[in-house]
């Protein structure tokens, strides 16, 4: 029996496994379906990683390499090209590989770190034919950065997620003409730094409150129809424009990869698309933890690592000390202007000096107050000059605040007028 099995060898799984090893676990296995550790970082050859975690600016492969080298100094085992088919409530992990065949391994604890996937054309139902040249931005990134293929010459990008913004720059640098980036919302869903560095620096227009209403082409994309949308995000008749292009990249959101989580019977959060977790990243099933983009989609891999290290330490504590929380559970509620919080629950006997709460807002806000209340009583206020749905926010709450709370804590946004 393993003390810990980590499902996923991307940035979350690597950080969790290393933290668990440092915390005293000896028999640890990382299982990943790919041919190499590192996950999505292997195709993210741009810089911008590692400033928080390592204090230096790294590319994706360099960031993954740091953790891989750290793990080489441990006895953590790795099973690559191995697909996990099921994780049960009693922590049996069913997996299959060409080398080992089908096998079932038992673990004292399990960490789910499967990451996330992109929404496809089928998820957003764009009318039109089904020609070649319609790709997710992440697929195009893999073609260009790992396989050495340029998927198109005249490109339109639908959605302003960070991968799409980064691929606008990447395709331009490789010689393609990126006609525009199209966003159905009145604001971008990506980081502001990527809008500046990937669009404005290359004179690529960003059309907000627009969408693609039709894809045209027989064997390959030949045209797309662009239209403005109203406040209900419905196309406005008469605003259509036809763009000649051979490629449409989709950057329309990421979905936590949670088929294994749901099959295990773990309670899910409909807003994040991931598991409901406690402050130590434990799910509703004791001994099964989740971390990284499989819980909620992060902006920075540095935050994924920090969260995953917390999960690794908690898994080690669970195995070594057989800790069973006995105290009251505090619910975190997403109030006015808050889309979700992570964690969603807190064991009061687990609270250290502070707890970091991550959340996203439902709309762009200028000067605002983040209000923390319990049963209508205001406990704390945090000021922000700007808030945006595309940027994950976080606050750090002290232990004394939780001791004043009764039953639940609610986070809400109050925009300052004038």
For residues 101-113, average pLDDT? 98
Average predicted confidence (pLDDT) for the chain: 94
CA dist 294 and 6 (Å) reads: 13
pTM above 0.85, yes or no: yes
**Looking at residue 403, what is its pLDDT?**
84
Averaged pLDDT, 99-128: 91
| Nearest by Cα to 113 from 292, 256, 313 | 292
Exposed/middle/buried for residue 213 (C-beta within 10 Å: 0-12, 13-18, 19+)? middle
pLDDT above 70: residue 325: no
Residue range 48-79, pLDDT digits in tens: 899 999 999 999 999 999 999 999 999 999 99
Residue 320: strand, helix, or coil: helix
Q: Cβ neighbours of residue 10 under 8 Å, at least 6 residues apart?
A: 32, 37, 38, 39, 40, 41, 64, 113, 115, 292
> In this predicted structure, what is the pLDDT of residue 339?
96
Distance CA 42, CA 104 (A): 29
- Please check the confidence at residue 343 and state whether its pLDDT lies above 90: yes
Cβ-Cβ contacts under 8 Å for 114 (sequence gap 6 or more): 7, 8, 256, 257, 258, 260, 294
More confident residue, 417 or 132: 132
Average pLDDT (231-254) is 95
- Mean predicted confidence (pLDDT) in 304-318: 96
Percent of the chain whose predicted confidence (pLDDT) is above 70: 99
Which pLDDT band, with edges at 50, 70 and 90, does 97 fall under?
very high
Mean pLDDT of 171-185: 96
Distances (CA, A) of 46 to 36, 53, 165, 304: 19, 17, 12, 18
Residue 106 pLDDT > 80: yes
- Taken in order 281, 285, 287, 288, the sign of the CA dihedral is negative
For the segment 306-334, the average pLDDT, to the nearest whole number, is 89
What average pLDDT does the segment 279-308 reach? Answer: 96
Is the pLDDT at 152 greater than 90, yes or no?
Answer: yes
The pLDDT > 90 percentage for the chain reads 85
Give the distance, in angstroms, between the CA of residue 233 and the centroid of all CA atoms in the same chain: 25
Close Cβ partners of 189 (under 8 Å, ≥ 6 residues apart) = 159, 160, 161, 183, 253, 389, 390
353-410 pLDDT, tens digit each? 889 999 999 999 999 999 999 998 999 999 999 999 989 999 999 988 988 888 899 9
Predicted local confidence at residue 409, as pLDDT:
94
For the stretch 15-24, pLDDT in tens is 999 999 999 9
Q: What is the pLDDT of residue 1?
A: 93
């Amino acid at each position: 029996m393993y003390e810990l099995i980590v499902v996923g060898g991307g940035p979350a799984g690597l950080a969790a496994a290393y933290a668990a090893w440092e915390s005293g676990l000896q028999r640890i296995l990382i299982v990943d379906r790919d041919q190499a550790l590192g996950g999505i970082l292997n195709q993210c050859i741009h810089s911008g990683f590692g400033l928080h975690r390592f204090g230096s600016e790294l590319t994706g492969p360099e960031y993954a390499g740091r953790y891989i080298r750290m793990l080489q100094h441990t006895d953590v085992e790795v099973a690559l090209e191995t697909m996990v088919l099921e994780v049960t409530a009693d922590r049996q992990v069913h997996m299959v590989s060409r080398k080992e065949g089908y096998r079932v391994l038992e673990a004292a604890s399990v960490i789910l770190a499967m990451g996330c996937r992109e929404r496809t054309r089928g998820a957003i139902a764009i009318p039109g034919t089904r020609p070649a040249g319609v790709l997710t931005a992440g697929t195009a990134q893999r073609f260009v950065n790992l396989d050495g293929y340029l998927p198109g010459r005249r490109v339109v990008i639908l959605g302003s997620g960070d991968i799409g913004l980064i691929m606008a720059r990447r395709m331009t640098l490789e010689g393609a003409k990126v006609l525009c980036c199209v966003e159905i919302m009145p604001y971008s869903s990506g980081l502001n730094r990527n809008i500046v560095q990937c669009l404005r620096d290359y004179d690529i227009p960003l059309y907000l409150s627009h969408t693609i209403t039709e894809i045209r082409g027989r064997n390959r994309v030949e045209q797309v129809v662009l239209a403005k949308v109203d406040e209900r995000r419905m196309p406005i008749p008469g605003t259509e424009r036809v763009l000649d292009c051979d490629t449409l990249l989709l950057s329309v959101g990421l979905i936590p990869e949670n088929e294994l989580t749901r099959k295990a019977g773990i309670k899910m959060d409909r807003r994040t698309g991931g598991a409901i977790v406690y402050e130590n990243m434990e799910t509703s099933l004791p001994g099964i933890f989740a971390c990284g983009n499989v819980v909620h989609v992060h902006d920075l891999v540095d935050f994924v690592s920090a969260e995953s290290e917390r999960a690794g330490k908690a898994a080690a504590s669970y195995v070594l000390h057989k800790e069973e929380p006995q105290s009251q559970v505090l619910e975190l509620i997403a109030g006015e202007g808050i889309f979700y919080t992570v964690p969603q629950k807190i064991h009061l006997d687990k609270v250290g000096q502070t707890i970091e709460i991550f959340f996203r807002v439902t709309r762009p806000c200028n000067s605002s107050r983040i209000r923390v209340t319990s049963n209508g009583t205001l406990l704390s206020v945090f000021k922000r000059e700007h808030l945006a749905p595309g940027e994950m926010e976080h606050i750090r709450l002290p232990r004394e605040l939780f001791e004043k709370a009764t039953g639940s804590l609610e986070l809400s946004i109050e925009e300052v007028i004038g």
